[in-house]
Amino acid sequence: MRPIFALSLAAVLILPLPAAAQPTPWAHPGEEAIDPYAVDDANAGAAPMAEDAVFEALGGVQGVSRIIDDLVDRSVRDPRLEEIFKPTDLARLRRTLKEQVCFILGGPCAYSGRDMAAAHKDLGITTAEFNALVENLQGAMDDAGVPFRAQNRLLARLAPMKGDVVER
């Protein structure tokens, strides 16, 4: 084998797979297929925090995961919100929401979901419903023992997304 050929072969075998070869985000096991879209961290709707104090205050990857599960559990049984969440693929919602919050808090996560306008298009969400969801997130963070200041730092990152989520 020529050395140059052997080298390129080694590079192909050793180098990590390019992004295009990763599984597509709409093909996760246990989730429903949705129309393809361009995957981009910018879809998360906020830049990641530079320091990890808030991420740590929420309990890192495991803490974020528990808090989001609690948020979704509260919201699907909340009389103010249950109708909106009835047709939702909750496996996908839990996964993408966890990615999004972990990403925004500067954690070791990429966001693979849709942008906020596309994800909430035609759901007809009201300001009252937006506030109800925020209340449920606060409840989940309270129960997880997240200090008030850290809670507010996360909420401040989510608040500007209201314009893309609320339609009425």
- What are the residues binding ligand HEM (CB under 6 A)? 81, 84-85, 88-89, 92-93, 96-97, 100, 113-114, 119-120, 123, 125, 129-130, 133, 158, 161, 165
Minimum Å gap between C-beta 138 and ligand HEM is 13
Nearer to ligand HEM, 8 or 108 (CB): 108
Nearer to ligand HEM, 3 or 29 (CB): 29
Q: Which residue is nearest to ligand HEM (CB)?
A: 113
Per DSSP, the residues of the chain read --HHHHHHHHHHHHSPPPGGGSPPGGG-TTS---------GGGGSSPPPSSSHHHHHTTHHHHHHHHHHHHHHHHHT-TTTHHHHTTS-HHHHHHHHHHHHHHHTT-S----S--HHHHHTTS---HHHHHHHHHHHHHHHHHTT--HHHHHHHHHHHGGGHHHH---
Nearer to ligand HEM, 49 or 81 (CB): 81
